[in-house]
Amino acid sequence: MTEPKNDLHRLRLAIMTTQATMAAHMGVPLRTYEDLETGKSTLRPIHLNAARWACVSIQSAGLAGRATLPDDVFGPIIEAGFEWRLAEWGP
């Protein structure tokens, strides 16, 4: 398997999708995505947040080559649901 260049690349490899699909679901041009993934442009937290949401979007659309989301994407979703249930039903 290819060694990830950065967290953005790692997320894309984890769900087994293309740069074009990831860029489209992040809402950035393909060239911008390529520059972020290769390190030509600075990767900022907002890009990683967009990439995590893109993973969810790609997965829910059935476009991911893998059936599971990366832990750093899936974990916060589960935690948010748990916190919502606690707020809704009380401790």
Please report the pLDDT score of residue 9 as a whole number. Answer: 96
**Measured between alpha carbons, how far is 50 from 81 in angstroms, rounded to an integer?**
19
Task: With CA atoms as reference, report the closest residue to 11 among 65, 87, 82.
Answer: 65
Residue 65 confidence (pLDDT) above 80: yes
pTM reported for the whole predicted model? 0.80
Q: Could you tell me the domains of the chain? A: 7-89 (1.10.260)
Residue 27 confidence (pLDDT) above 70: yes
